[in-house]
Every structure is written in structure tokens, then in C-alpha cells.
Structure 1
Amino acid sequence: MQYQSRDQIPERYRWDLSSMCKDDKDFERQLEGAKAFPAKLAAYRGRVSASAEDLLAYLRLVDESSVTLDRLGNYADRQADVDTRVAKYQVYSDQVMGLEVETEEACSWFSAELLGMADEKLAAFFAEEPGLEHYRRAVERELRMRPHRLSAPEEAILARTGDSAAQPERVFSQLNNADLTFTDATDAQGKKHPVTHGSFINLERSHDRVLRKSAFDSVYASYGAHRNTCAGLLAAQVKQLKFFADSRHYKDALEYRLDANEVPTSVYDNLVGAVNENLGALHSYASLRKSVLGVDELHFWDMYVPLVDSVDLTYTYEEAWELILKALEPLGENYLTIVREGLERRWIDVYETPGKRSGAYSSGSYGTNPVILTSFNGSLDDVFTLAHEMGHSVHTYLSCHAQSPTYSDYPIFVAEVASTLNEALLSHYLLEHTADPAAHAYVLNNFVESFRATLYRQCMFAEFERNVNEMNADGRGVTADALCKRWGELNAQYFGDAVVVDDGICLEWARIPHFYYGYYVYQYATSYAAAIAISNRILTEGAPAVEEYLGCLKGGSSKPPIELLRDAGVDMATPKPVEDALAYFSRLIDRLRDEL
């Protein structure tokens, strides 16, 4: 559904941000009060190592400041995202970012002071002040970073770089969401179709091949016109990662980013290695797609169209949620109650409008309702997106209700399990309850596509991201030509000889916002493998597996992510979950071939 302004959208389809701030005046009032945090925190310098009472008071103040700034940042960013053209909320976001940097700088001395304490003295503090026990894991996490912490003045310098380090992602977002436009696509009958970030994939799913190619050419012509700008922004992103990795004495940017989440780099290596050893199934799927579509050449504008052309599954927003709630029943009534609360309390911003940020996400902070941004068009993909993002939101809800602010945030490594598990359950439900053979083959094809798009594709993204960081580390130029060349090589490697690697697809890297999140994308792939394993446990074992899984979601950051997932029955420290998922994908391909 297309709306030209938010005023046209009924209130029930627009998210409610009042749990963050009642309105802009409330935001400005709270922001003014939050400006006192840097001075208050800095006043504890020299005191936390002298007094157990002051150490506890400081840690509690850090929690308070984090909750407040997270809430304010969430409000500003969410308001900015519904219309990226509105300067007011960009200013709000900048103001919060500036205060966050100032607050971080005001705390920059803490690590050095804590690490300078003798172990015996710190142990005595814990014995003297019982309230400190709550912070034991937080303190131990700080102590494990001892080899990577700098002196207080050096930490202050690094803290002051926070705002500038965030600029590559923020500038890319402005370019991608506010400035880039696409020419209309033309179908086989000469009819024009608007191309937007929200409509692109739906156009690529059309059975009209002329329309698919036209939309593809439209999108990549726009990115091609900005290829050098996009390359410059990505180069700036990897340079700032290298700066922080070098400054903190890490081997490379990969180790730097994964260590922050307590994930060993072997997990990354296991993923890429396992996928590269099992590319045959993806090559087989590409060949099957070429055969079923009956094309002389399979291009990347042919990769999203369903292989069953007699089925057109579309849903209203209400129908989508009716389906999702049925699919999530194996997770139990407590889980479903939270989902219904989200629908009733308007957690979701549903429809696309001009200037609205592209894509979909869930965001939340302690003490507020989690919220979801999406651009619902009624496709089956859109239904899966809602299920995916609600998985994140329920995770946030459970973690924030089970944990204190200290441990309510959760590692990304676990976060994507919560979302992709919902997708897996939705796929299982559809396959079990779709009687029509053509529709069943359509759903099976969609499940296969989710594997391709999440496990294989995100692993390819991860491999590319590591390559780009290596280009920069080795002194090779991170140029548009180099990026296009490597992207083309990876597409040829992953998809095999059945697919033509066009010049347009070689620009695809330029439209991926996740490359600005710093080694984020690999977690989609690892989480998909974990989600497949856990969802199968839930469907076969029932309540005990559900209880263990929800316990994982409630864990927040109270344990390392590898341990949290072990509690849910999957060990991501080994390649086995990825290998098992890839073997499952191969069986799905065989099943799909039989049904087509």
C-alpha cells in the first residue's frame, strides 16, 4: 500500500514512541537533564579505587546514564527514520550522539583505574560491599580486556573519536535513504512502475522478466552513478575499524569486533569454511532455477522470482499476523501474549512513505516498548519480515524484564537467533498446513530461498567484508573498481556457472547498509544455523526445549553468547550446526526438485 504522507496512515499502523518520550518537548527536557551526566561521572575519578562504596555508586550511575541516553537516542533515531528529510530529528540525533561521546569521554579513565587495582584489593571491595556482587560479571569483562586498554589520556582521545567514527554509516544512510532515487521500471506492456527501496524486491519477484530486468537496471544505474562515493564511504568505514583495532592492540579488525561480543574468530572461520565446502548444493539450486524458468541465461534479476508461477500469495496486514500467531504457537502462550501486546500497543510502523528509512528493524531500550520499522506490501516476504522483527522485539522484552539494566542488552550473536527462529517456525507451519500442491511447492521454494538469502548470501557478505578489511590492512586501494571486481568473483564462486555475473550485480555491495555495522553480517548466517537446530528441537521435544530457549532469550548479556546458546542446546563453537543446516538445505533442494 502506498501512502504519500504519514498523516494519511491510520494511527493503528503508526508506532507509538511515547514510552521513550511523550513528545518533542519531553525529549528536549530530558536531554537537558542528561547533560549533567558527564560531570557527575567524571567526579568519581580517583574515588572508585579508593572506596567500595564509591565504586558501587559509580557503576549504578553508569547504568542510569546508559538507560537515559539509550532512551533519548532511540526516540531521536526513530523519529528521524520515519522521514529522513526532516532536519529537526537529525539534529536531535546529533545532540544525543554528541552527549554520548561526551559521556564516554567522562568515563574514559575508569578502565585504567580499575585495571590498576591489585586483585587482592578488588576482592576486598567485593567482600566489603555486597551490592557489588551484581556487577561481578561486568567487572570481570572489563578485566579480561586488560591487554587492550590504554592509559586514561589515551582512552579519552579514543572516546572523542566516537562521533567521527560513526559518520561513514550516517552519511551512507543519508545518501541511501534521502538522496538516492530510481527511475520507474517498465513492464512488458510498457506500463511504468515506481522503484523504491521498499518495492524493489517485490518487482524482482514479478513473473514479468522485462519488468524484473528494468527494475534491476534502474537500481544499479543509480548506484553506479554514485559508485565512487559509495566506495569512499566504505573505505572510510574500514579505515576507522583498523584505527580502533590497531589502537587497542588487536591482530586485526575482525578480532577487535568479535572480541567485544566474546566470540572467537574461529567461529567466523568455521562458517566461511563450512559454506565454501558445501557450495555444490547452491550451484545445484541455481541450475534447477535456470531449468525451471526455461531461460537460456540465468541472470541475477531472475534469482528472486518464485519458481511456481501459478501461485500469488498476498496478505493483508491483519491476515499476516493471524498466520504468524498460528505459526508461533509451539513457543507457548506466554510468548504469544507478548506478541499480542506488541500489536495492541502499536509497536510497529507498518507502511512506506516518502523519506522513510528503507528496510526493516526492531529497536528497543530498557524501560521502553520495543518498536519495529517495516514497509509492508503484502507479500509472503513481508510476512516473514514481520515474524523476524517480532522475534527481536520479544527478545528485547524478555531480556529487559528478566535482567537489570546492567545485563539487559544482549549480544548480536544471539539476537539474530531470536528472529530467524521465528522464520523457521513460520516455514514449518506453512509446509505442514498448505494442501494445494502448487502452493506447497511455492512455500518450499520460499524456505529454500530463506536458506540462500540468509545462510549462503550473508556468508558471502561476511567473506566480502573480511576481504575489504584485508585490502585496507594490506595497503591495497579500497576503490570502486576493486570492490566491484571482488564482488563479481564471489558471486561467480557462490552461484556457479549457471548464473551470469552482470556488471550491474558487481555494484550490489554499494547498497548493503550492514557493511557499516562492523562485522555484523556473519551473525545472520551463524544464527540461521542455530535457529534451524533450536526450532527442530522445539518442534520435536516441546515444552522442555521451549523453556531452555526462552531462558536463553532472558539471559541478556549475563553470559557469553556461546554459553547462552549452549543453554538452548546448540554449540556454535563447532562447525556442526552450520554443517547440519547445509545438509538440510541440500535435502530441501532434492524435495523441491521432486515437487516442481
Structure 2
Amino acid sequence: MTTYKNRKEVPDHEKWDVSDIYESLEDWKQDVAEVKKMAEQLKQFDGEITDGTSLYDFLTLQEKLSFHLSKVMVYARLQVDVDTRDKKAEVLLDEASQLGVTASTAVSFFRPFLLSLDQSTLSEYISEVEGLAYFEDDLMDLFRYKPHVLSKEKEEVLTQLGESLSSPSKTFGMINNADIKFGKVTTEDGEKVELTRGMYEKLLKSENRSKRKEAYRAYYKPYIELNNTIASTLSSAIKTNVTLSKMKQYPSALEKSLFADQVPKEVYDNLIETTKKHLAPYHRYQTIRKNMLGVVELRQYDLSIPLVQGVDKDIPYEEAYDLMLKALAPLGEEYVDSLASFKEKRYIDVRETPGKRSGAYNMGLYGVHPFVLLNHQDNLNSLFTLAHEMGHAMHSYLSSKHQPQITAGYTIFVAEVASTVNEVLLIHYLLNQSTDDKTRKYLVNDFIDKFKGTFFTQVMFANFEKETHEMAEAGKPLNAEVFNLVYEKLFREYNGEDLVFDDEVKYGWSRIPHFYRPFYVYKYATGFAAAIQLANGLLENKEGAKEAYLEFLQSGSSEYPLDLLKKAGVDLTTSEPIEKALNFFTELVDEFEKQA
């Protein structure tokens, strides 16, 4: 595996080139000054938008500010992420963040102003000035919120209470990230060390079962001790969400969360109901896991260890990139050639170095290009991470290439589709190329576990959110005991009877930060299911599948997400995509069972 002691050792072609954004720090500073100037100019529009011309002038300047602010923010963020210890870069990011607040404050008057207009007045403005047609869809979309906007005085009160209303989430964040201390665990050498989250993830994959058990108990201990405190923060978050939904006259908290993407409640309900009807193969996989591990009782700390050991072979970055390109051949020559060029053009920061931000991401920058952060380890897992992030990068690249700035960004609802399509194409390619039974078995097991985490676990979380919000809406109490009962019931239902439930299981809800961003996690599951159906269409060389999928990648947010997916061939208002994904999971389990 290639390792580097510092960033200077990394060859230039494996580092991204931030000069594509600004050639020098002076150019960055010049844009900072320009954004400040534009923010001041935008402030002057407060109370002065009286016709189509002044509206057009405001919106045009706002979009220009947004373009330059994005460049300022991304340039600073990329500098920090390659070395989080760099104090100069930290100063740039602080300045950029403050600039974002300044810009946001400057235009805060606009939404209340727009919603104070009659729709007929807005239509008149648009007919007066030809250029306003460009902004029409966004303006009219804002009008959808009008029935859910309170009086100006009440909205101002809610704005002033904003920090207080978000305190449950902030409090949990402080508890979870700053205050919680996990118990000590014993290393293989017999040394007692403080458990960290990173160490916990590694220990759960250890072949030493007693180490897995010890880590599991230590990890859950502080959550059990703080059970009532965390229950209070989650209860407050749920009740706040329910109260705001009622105040703003949404039928339910769920429907308030789905409103922005125009997703019917039936899509959410259908995801849960269809998944519950197809849990048998997942339960069967738990039985296979129990038998392969040779344990009398399968426990929660047995669920992360890979069932096939000793296969993770060395895959150098150059080889990984070539493998990915070959796997993505069903997407066509133009897609593959564009993606191949990303490596040569230095859009990717490849190597792990001291101080570099962990993990991986894609950051699309309109008018420039995507920037992809990796911490490549020359192994199979890094190959899948590469394919995943380059799916995001191509989505950003194609949307920016084919869409104007206003619709170039894609929504969270469809964000994981392109990345998962790439992963599905890659797993199929590797399975088709595999001549070694053990490697094939490892690949199937790895994708089953990926499916479990991205789909089944997220659907269970979505189910938990739905039940607890409905209890709050019905005026039922929410406390630690209630959360424990609901979570344990769902965990048993989703995971099956072959799992023996430790007492810790019921406290699982207390460690999930996503619950403070209500009704968000279901998007992982719907995106995953959509991607599997799209990838299968590509692999089967279905007529028009490639063209429809590429059009989806080029569409940004030009239509609502369900409509974009429907045009690509996936209708999430039906159970078909969920059923197809679950059928694919069944096929994976069937194959793995034959090899077990």
C-alpha cells in the first residue's frame, strides 16, 4: 500500500489543483471584497422592489453573488480539508463562513416580501420583463409555501426563536461529540485504552469475539447512562417539529418534511410496507451468518464481521481507476472518456496524508468542475469508494454542463442515485470477471452488508421516526421507556428471531444524529432502490435505458425529483422499485447461501 509522510511527497497528479478556482490568494481576496460589495447592494433592495425590472435586477445580482460566494467557500474548504492543522487555511474558511452569513442576512427580507405579493402581481412582473422567465419556476415554487406561512409578526417571532428551537439538536451534538466518553477496552497486548468511534468500528470486525463483545458493551455504556437525558432532547426535537407543522397548517410532520420535494406521503409509507413484506431473505441471511460464525447465539456484536476473511487484495490507484472505467462501460464512451479525464485534469485528491480530512466526498462547483476528496488505501473498499464518489462527480459535472446555474444543483433526494448506480455496475463487473470462488463470495457478502446498512437499517430508522412522530401528534408521552420499547420492537421485527437481543439493543435510537433531521434517512433507501433498478436496466441493455439515465444526470434540479426519476424509468410512487431492489437482495442471499 502506498503511504506518504507528508503532502509534499504526494505526486502532483494525485492532488487536486485549486488554481482552477483562483490562480492566487489575491484573486480569492478580490472576490471576497466583491461579494461584500454585492451584499451591500442587495440590502438596498429591501422595500425597493416595486416592479418587474427591480425584481429582475435583484435576482440577477443575487445569482451573481451566489456564484462568487460558492467559489470563495469551496476554495477555503478545500485548503482546510487537505490539512486540518493549517491555521492559515482555517482563517480563510472562517472568513468565508462569515461572508456567507453576511450574504444570507442581506437577502433575508426577500422571501417574506415575495410571499406578501399576490400571485397575479408576480405574474404581471414576469410578463413585464422577459428575463424574469429564467427565475419563474423558482419564484412560483416559493409560492407553494404561501398557505404554510404565518403572519409577518409570527414569522418574525419564529425567526427570533430559531436558535432556541434548534437547541435539542445542538444539545445532542454536544453530548454525542464532546461529552460522551466510552469505557476502556483491552487491546490484544493486554493494554487498557479509551475506546473511540473509529476503534469501535474496527473492533466490531475483529475475529476475536470477546473483543467485539467488550467493545460493544463499552460503546453502549454511556448511552445507557444518559438514556433519560438523550430521550429528553429527542422528545423535544420531535415535539417541536410536530408543533411547527401544526402551526404552519401541514397535515402532519411527515408531510411538512416531504413538501419541498413534492413527495406524496404514500411514497414513504410504501417504502416501509413493501420492505416489511420482504424481510424473510434478510432474516435468512442472519441465519447464514450465525451458522458461518459457528456461534450458538448470534448477537448484535456479530453483525459487522466479514464472513469471508483474507481476500482483500492490493489494488493500486491506477489499476482501481482502470477497473472502474471498465465497469462503467454500459454508460457509454462519452461518460467513460469524461471520467477518465478527471484523473489527468487533477480533479481528485487521492492520498491519505497527516492532517487530511478523513473519509471521501465530491464537491461540485458550478462554472469550474467537481473536486473529489479520497483517502485511497489501494484495497477493494477504496475501489468501491472511488466508484461511488466519481458517480457523484459525474452527476455534478453533467448537471453543470447542461443546466444553467439556477437548476444545476441536484437535490438530496436523488443525490445517492448516481453513486450507487456506479457501485452496482462495479459489483456486477467484478463478479463477472472473478475466477476465484473465495473472491466472488467475499464480493457478494460485502454487497449484502452494504445493502443491509444503506437500505434495511435506514428503513427501520424511517419506521421509528414515523411511529414516534405519530405518537407525539396523538398527544402520547415520549420518554426513554417509550423510545426503548419502539426501537426494540422494530429491531426485532427487522432483524428476525435468530438474533439474540442483548439489553443494549433497545438503546440504539439514542446514538442516531439523523433523528434530529426528521424524515431524512428514507432518502438513502429510496435512492438505493432507484439506483438498483436503473443499473439493472443498463446491464440488460434495455432499449433507451442509457439515454434516459444520462438525461437524468444532466437534469440537475430542473424538475422535482420524482418526475426526474420517472423520466429515467423509475416510478417511486409504486412499489416496483422497492420490490426489484429486494428481489436483487434475495438473489445475492441465494448465491451466498449456496457458497456458504
Output the TM-score relative to the length of structure 2: 0.86
Paired residue for 2:426? Answer: 426
Please give the alpha-carbon distance, in whole angstroms, between the structure 2 residues aligned to 1:284 and 1:409: 41
Question: Per-residue deviation at 1:226?
Answer: 6.4
Paired residue for 2:442? Answer: 442
Name the aligned partner's letter for residue 306 of structure 1.
P
Q: Is the 1:362–1:370 Cα contact (8 Å) retained in structure 2?
A: yes
Name the aligned partner's letter for residue 285 of structure 1.
Y
Tell me, what secondary structure is at the counterpart of 2:540? Answer: helix
Name the aligned partner's letter for residue 384 of structure 1.
F
Please give the alpha-carbon distance, in whole angstroms, between the structure 2 residues aligned to 1:327 and 1:414: 22
Paired residue for 1:302? Answer: 302
Please give the alpha-carbon distance, in whole angstroms, between the structure 2 residues aligned to 1:506 and 1:315: 40
Q: CA 1:99–1:397 in 2, change beyond 3 Å: closer, same or farther? A: same
Paired residue for 1:457? Answer: 457
Please give the alpha-carbon distance, in whole angstroms, between the structure 2 residues aligned to 1:559 and 1:170: 33
Question: Per-residue deviation at 1:286?
Answer: 0.7
1:423-451 CA distance string (max 9 Å, x none) = 11111111111111121122122222222
Please give the alpha-carbon distance, in whole angstroms, between the structure 1 residues aligned to 2:365 and 2:164: 24
Q: CA 1:312–1:121 in 2, change beyond 3 Å: closer, same or farther? A: closer
Paired residue for 1:494? Answer: 494
Q: CA 1:138–1:175 in 2, change beyond 3 Å: closer, same or farther? A: same
Please give the alpha-carbon distance, in whole angstroms, between the structure 2 residues aligned to 1:591 and 1:89: 50
Please give the alpha-carbon distance, in whole angstroms, between the structure 2 residues aligned to 1:68 and 1:456: 41
Paired residue for 1:35? Answer: 36
Tell me, what secondary structure is at the counterpart of 1:541? Answer: coil
Please give the alpha-carbon distance, in whole angstroms, between the structure 1 residues aligned to 2:271 and 2:427: 23
Question: Per-residue deviation at 1:533?
Answer: 0.7
Paired residue for 1:66? Answer: 66
Tell me, what secondary structure is at the counterpart of 1:362? Answer: strand
Please give the alpha-carbon distance, in whole angstroms, between the structure 2 residues aligned to 1:44 and 1:279: 56
Q: CA 1:515–1:98 in 2, change beyond 3 Å: closer, same or farther? A: farther
Paired residue for 1:405? Answer: 405
Paired residue for 1:593? Answer: 593
Name the aligned partner's letter for residue 519 of structure 1.
F
In the TM superposition, 1:250-261 aligns within 5 A as 250-261=250-261
More deviation in 278-287 or 209-218?
209-218
Question: Per-residue deviation at 1:89?
Answer: 6.7
More deviation in 185-194 or 297-306?
185-194
Tell me, what secondary structure is at the counterpart of 2:362? Answer: strand
Q: Is the 1:198–1:358 Cα contact (8 Å) retained in structure 2?
A: no
Please give the alpha-carbon distance, in whole angstroms, between the structure 2 residues aligned to 1:25 and 1:239: 49
1:264-294 CA distance string (max 9 Å, x none) = 2221111111112222221111111111221
Please give the alpha-carbon distance, in whole angstroms, between the structure 2 residues aligned to 1:287 and 1:199: 27
Question: Per-residue deviation at 1:553?
Answer: 1.4
Q: Is the 1:195–1:215 Cα contact (8 Å) retained in structure 2?
A: yes
Q: CA 1:306–1:504 in 2, change beyond 3 Å: closer, same or farther? A: same
Paired residue for 2:384? Answer: 384
Gaps of 5+ in 2: none
Mapped pair 1:414 → 2:419: no
Name the aligned partner's letter for residue 34 of structure 1.
V
Percent of residue pairs bearing the same amino acid type? 38
Question: Per-residue deviation at 1:70?
Answer: 3.4
Please give the alpha-carbon distance, in whole angstroms, between the structure 1 residues aligned to 2:476 and 2:516: 19
Please give the alpha-carbon distance, in whole angstroms, between the structure 2 residues aligned to 1:191 and 1:436: 39
1:390-425 CA distance string (max 9 Å, x none) = 211211111122111211111111111111111111
Name the aligned partner's letter for residue 587 of structure 1.
E
Gaps of 5+ in 1: none
Please give the alpha-carbon distance, in whole angstroms, between the structure 2 residues aligned to 1:320 and 1:174: 39
Tell me, what secondary structure is at the counterpart of 1:406? Answer: helix
Please give the alpha-carbon distance, in whole angstroms, between the structure 2 residues aligned to 1:35 and 1:365: 20
In the TM superposition, 1:252-271 aligns within 5 A as 252-271=252-271
1:134-175 CA distance string (max 9 Å, x none) = 222112212222212344555555556667767766776677
Name the aligned partner's letter for residue 44 of structure 1.
F
Question: Per-residue deviation at 1:552?
Answer: 0.7
In the TM superposition, 1:185-334 aligns within 5 A as 197-198=197-198, 200-221=200-221, 234=234, 237-238=237-238, 241-242=241-242, 244-309=244-309, 311-334=311-334
More deviation in 94-103 or 273-282?
94-103
More deviation in 213-222 or 385-394?
213-222
Please give the alpha-carbon distance, in whole angstroms, between the structure 1 residues aligned to 2:371 and 2:223: 30
1:44-103 CA distance string (max 9 Å, x none) = 34444x322222222212222323333444445555556667787777666655554554
Name the aligned partner's letter for residue 366 of structure 2.
Y
Q: Is the 1:2–1:352 Cα contact (8 Å) retained in structure 2?
A: no
Please give the alpha-carbon distance, in whole angstroms, between the structure 2 residues aligned to 1:350 and 1:301: 33
CA RMSD after TM alignment: 3.8
Q: CA 1:551–1:70 in 2, change beyond 3 Å: closer, same or farther? A: same
1:167-210 CA distance string (max 9 Å, x none) = 76677667766776767865667589997555654543343434
Q: CA 1:489–1:179 in 2, change beyond 3 Å: closer, same or farther? A: same
Question: Per-residue deviation at 1:387?
Answer: 1.7
Q: CA 1:194–1:109 in 2, change beyond 3 Å: closer, same or farther? A: closer
Please give the alpha-carbon distance, in whole angstroms, between the structure 2 residues aligned to 1:432 and 1:490: 37
Paired residue for 2:582? Answer: 582
Mapped pair 1:336 → 2:340: no
Q: Is the 2:7–2:353 Cα contact (8 Å) retained in structure 1?
A: no
Paired residue for 1:370? Answer: 370
Q: Is the 1:104–1:159 Cα contact (8 Å) retained in structure 2?
A: no
Please give the alpha-carbon distance, in whole angstroms, between the structure 1 residues aligned to 2:239 and 2:557: 29
Question: Per-residue deviation at 1:336?
Answer: 2.3
Q: CA 1:227–1:119 in 2, change beyond 3 Å: closer, same or farther? A: closer
Question: Per-residue deviation at 1:326?
Answer: 1.9
Q: CA 1:162–1:68 in 2, change beyond 3 Å: closer, same or farther? A: farther
Q: Is the 2:399–2:556 Cα contact (8 Å) retained in structure 1?
A: yes
Please give the alpha-carbon distance, in whole angstroms, between the structure 2 residues aligned to 1:479 and 1:352: 43
Tell me, what secondary structure is at the counterpart of 1:574? Answer: coil
In the TM superposition, 1:34-53 aligns within 5 A as 34-48=35-49, 50-53=50-53
In the TM superposition, 1:97-108 aligns within 5 A as 99-101=99-101, 103-108=103-108
Name the aligned partner's letter for residue 331 of structure 1.
L
Question: How many aligned residue pairs are there?
Answer: 595
Mapped pair 1:144 → 2:122: no
Tell me, what secondary structure is at the counterpart of 2:261? Answer: coil
Please give the alpha-carbon distance, in whole angstroms, between the structure 2 residues aligned to 1:182 and 1:9: 36
Output the TM-score relative to the length of structure 1: 0.86
Name the aligned partner's letter for residue 581 of structure 1.
A
Q: Is the 1:223–1:507 Cα contact (8 Å) retained in structure 2?
A: yes
Q: CA 1:240–1:327 in 2, change beyond 3 Å: closer, same or farther? A: farther
More deviation in 107-116 or 320-329?
107-116
Please give the alpha-carbon distance, in whole angstroms, between the structure 1 residues aligned to 2:15 and 2:479: 41
More deviation in 183-192 or 365-374?
183-192
Mapped pair 1:521 → 2:521: yes
Q: CA 1:307–1:334 in 2, change beyond 3 Å: closer, same or farther? A: same
Q: Is the 2:10–2:351 Cα contact (8 Å) retained in structure 1?
A: no
Q: CA 1:271–1:325 in 2, change beyond 3 Å: closer, same or farther? A: same
Question: Per-residue deviation at 1:365?
Answer: 3.3
